[in-house]
Chains A and B, each alone.
Chain A
Amino acid sequence: MALLTAGSGTRAQPGSRNHEVHRSRRRRPRGDNVAAYLFLAPQLLGLVVFMIGPLLFALVLAFYHWDGFGTRSFAGLSNFADVLSSPRIRRSAVNTLWFTLLQVPGLMLTGFFFAVLMQRAGKLTPVYRLAFFAPVITSSVAVAAIWLWLFNPDISPVSNALRAIGLPAPNWLQDARFVIPSLAVVGIWQGLGYMLVMFMAGLQSINRTVLEAAELDGCSEWQKLRHVTIPLLSPTILFLSITSIIGSFQVFDYIYVFFGGTAPDSSRTIVYEVVQTAFSEFNFGEASALALLLFLALLGVTGLQLAAQKRWVFYSE
């Protein structure tokens, strides 16, 4: 401290102690930077090799014809034209949107609903949290095995229950009208635990005094929820809506484990088409073009969400 006081406001003379201190202070950040980069090097290398490199490669591939083995030939924009003119891919895009429209609100509403209920679960909260979170960490194959049974129109207990009360039991995975809603149900079931944990964390971070003040002002439970809890939870809602929409646009695993490589048109989504086009049809250029279009669509949707946040997201201290 004394050194800093003594040195401040004076010009260091070469060879003086102050001069040495200044040199050391100038050198030290550079040395620290080198050390930091060295420690970051493995991570950065991984990022470049496994993330940025493949991303750039895919971007380039979108403008080439390539079967994965032979030489690449420049395709211009023809891959994009093929993708945009394909009825099958248009149908898959509609399916993806439909899935997103069903899954995202379904996840958000059920996650929020159960998180609010869990606030009152008392000592059983960890038990419920574990039960809700278990599907999140269950493998897709196990999930598929369970749901393939539940969706089997002939042996499913769900279908049998519907028939028992006189309702028709649809052929969940084979009827074009039900397949995407069925997939959304599985998505909501598996993703609910994550939503719940995030909403619970958001709810617990709300200052109790604000809620108590609202109570003193005579607010009903609904008014507290509507005018206090939800506005204070809005950053969490924004974050979860962005990540859920991205996740829903990229849905692939359920379709692949339910249908393998032969999913019917009514169940295909964009990422499924990307994988099929690349690895079943050996058309890596068209697959990359489709992936790039999906990326741009997601970028646009996320940008809109971030732009709109100014109108409804409330950031407290």
Chain B
Amino acid sequence: MFSHNNVIKGAAATPAVDRRSLLKAGMFAGLALTAAPALAACGGGSGGGPGLKWAGWDGPPQSERFNEFSDKMTKKLGVEVTYQQVVGDYLSKLLTQLSGGAAPAAFYVGDIYMAKLIETKQVLDLTDYLDSSDAAVKLDDFHEGLYQWCKPADGGSGLFGLPVDCNPTVFWFNKDLLAEAGVSTDPAAQFDAGTWTQDALTDMLDKVRAKGKKGLMLGGGNWFDWFGWVSTFGGTLFDESGAPVFDTDPKAQEALAWLFEQLKSGNMTYAGALPEGQGAEPLFFAEQVAAITTGRTVLPNLKKLKFDYDMAPYPSLSGKDVMPVPVNTAALSVYAKTKDQAKALEFLGNFVSPEGQEFRLSGGGNAVPSVKGLDGIVTEDDAPAHGSLFNDIAAAGYAVPPAMSANATVLSELPNLVDKMFKAGNETPKSFSGKVVQLINSGKS
């Protein structure tokens, strides 16, 4: 039982600790604690200590696969390879590590900050490595539209990252809900028949709306939420020099006019600005909406649900073509100040190589390879039935346009600008595209 008496007796029973020894112990403890960070910094250096550390934002279950891959690379490279999973805000931690000169040897890079990392020489040019004979991967292995944003924004030479995998936006639909609405031929069957056109989609959405359900959700104001509706109907978003032209391109204007008509009629519903996976997807899972456009990320959830589903490419003017649409992707880059660049490059090459992607993505993954030839991954379990089209869509698609990724402010402000215009609902295709192009060109709206 606790009492003051017990405490007093206990103190009396213990050997006396004199003041000198107490001070000495305290001093050593203080010195040790003071020196610990400095010693850690000296020992760590760039790359954060011995071995090869690499970082990404993926947590379980993907991180378990990453740890397995790290073990595999440990044996291959002869150094301890460790995955640093960043819990919370990845970018702020990475920036802190870069500022302190202690970033991991290789790390994931998102589209919003690649240009800044290149500009400030934080990441290594991969050109020489990719040209070398012993590189684990070649540039030709990748779909061309997926790595343009890893080049310098000023048009300079070099390539500073490679896409780890990708997620092309595709047209997911609820077969049961479409059948209830009287849609006899679903979008995938229409694509197979070569009749998956703009009119076919409009007709389908009209039927769903007539049944009191939502036809198609427009995810948000990000570029990848709505650029696809312009490019899939033949509109030109950016010219060959990379300048935005969808405010003047006639086909782009026609496509936007169609999009605005669908929003106005209620065939399409704007989901609003919500985090990825929270806008349209919960409604699709809850069978409240017939179709959404998003990546393969929804597949694990769809497999658990009871309704019948499939996917198709976006419709096209011809009805049979896989047109270019947005593809979400992240890159792996090598830290420019890492000690062992050769090993870091070899790790990167293996990570993004066809073998590396197959190792990471097979067996229940939710991404699509960014390299050619890995058809088996997207057709696993025959889910969805037209899963093989994922690779075709990735091959035809485009990652973030360099004119936008060049300026972090543009990517940051675009969703907000577009969100306001979609919600207000009073823009014409011309005024809408004019404001977006102005933002892209000026850097600030």
Contacts and interface: CB of A to CB of B under 8 A. Distances in A.
A68 B95 contact: yes
A174 B116 contact: no
Contacts of B412: 261, 276, 280-281
A155 interface: yes
Given A34-B23, A45-B33, A279-B95, A265 B288 contact: no
B257 interface: no
Among A148, A155, A257, A264, the most chain B Cβ lie within 10 Å of the Cβ of A264
A283 B286 CA distance: 41
Interface string B94-117: 010011000000000000110010
B91 A259 contact: no
Interface string A124-155: 00000000000000000000000011001011
B377 to A, nearest CB: 28
Contact of B416 (A42, A155, A257, A262): A262
Interface in A80-95: 88
B19 interface: yes
B92 A174 contact: no
Contacts, number: 105
Given A154-B286, A154-B288, A280-B412, A38 B23 contact: yes
A222 interface: no
B45 interface: no
Contacts of B120: 67, 69-70
B92 A155 contact: no
Q: How large is the interface on B (under 10, 10 to 19, 20 to 34, 35 or more residues)?
A: 35 or more
A283 B116 CA distance: 11
A282 interface: yes
Contacts of B91: 279-280
A281 B409 contact: yes
Contact of B26 (A38, A155, A262, A279): A38
A63 interface: no
A45 B35 CA distance: 11
B284 to A, nearest CB: 11
B419 interface: yes
Contacts of A69: 98-99, 116, 120, 122
A171 B282 contact: no
A259 B222 CA distance: 12
B319 interface: no
Among A67, A149, A259, A276, the most chain B Cβ lie within 10 Å of the Cβ of A259
Contacts of B273: 174, 259, 262-264
A171 B419 CA distance: 14
A41 B33 contact: yes
Interface string B112-153: 110010001010000000000000000000000000000000
A15 interface: no
A180 interface: no
Contact of B30 (A38, A152, A260, A262): A38
B18 interface: no
A151 to B, nearest CB: 10
A31 B30 contact: no
Contacts of B113: 282
Interface string B403-445: 0000011011001100110010000000000000000000000
Interface string A246-260: 000000000001111
Contact of B274 (A42, A68, A258): A258
A245 interface: no
Among A88, A260, A262, the most chain B Cβ lie within 10 Å of the Cβ of A262
B116 A67 contact: yes
A222 B288 CA distance: 51
Interface in B168-185: none
B33 A155 contact: no
A45 B30 CA distance: 10
B305 interface: no
Q: How large is the interface on A (under 10, 10 to 19, 20 to 34, 35 or more residues)?
A: 35 or more
A35 B21 CA distance: 11
Interface in A52-102: 67-70, 88
A173 interface: yes
Contacts of A282: 113, 116, 408
B23 A152 contact: no
Contacts of A49: 37
A68 B99 contact: yes
Contact of B408 (A149, A154, A176, A280): A280
Nearest to B28: A38
Given A45-B33, A262-B221, A39 B116 contact: no
Interface in B265-289: 272-276, 278, 282-283, 286, 288
Contacts of A174: 272-273, 423
B408 A281 contact: yes
A259 B273 CA distance: 6
Contacts of B98: 68-69
Contact of A171 (B26, B272, B288, B416): B272
B268 to A, nearest CB: 15
Given A31-B19, A69-B99, A38 B27 contact: yes
Contact of B23 (A35, A67, A176, A259): A35
Given A174-B273, A282-B408, A155 B30 contact: no
A72 to B, nearest CB: 12
B282 A262 contact: no
A57 B113 CA distance: 23
A119 to B, nearest CB: 30
A70 B120 CA distance: 6
A259 B92 contact: no
Contacts of A276: 412
Contacts of A257: 275
Interface string B16-54: 000100110011011001100100000000000000000
A26 to B, nearest CB: 16
Interface of B: 19, 22-23, 26-27, 29-30, 33-34, 37, 89, 91-92, 95, 98-99, 112-113, 116, 120, 122, 214, 220-222, 272-276, 278, 282-283, 286, 288, 408-409, 411-412, 415-416, 419-420, 423
7 contacts: A38-B29, A67-B116, A154-B214, A262-B220, A264-B423, A282-B408, A283-B409
Interface of A: 31, 34-35, 38-39, 41-42, 45, 49, 67-70, 88, 148-149, 152, 154-155, 171, 173-174, 176, 257-265, 275-276, 279-283
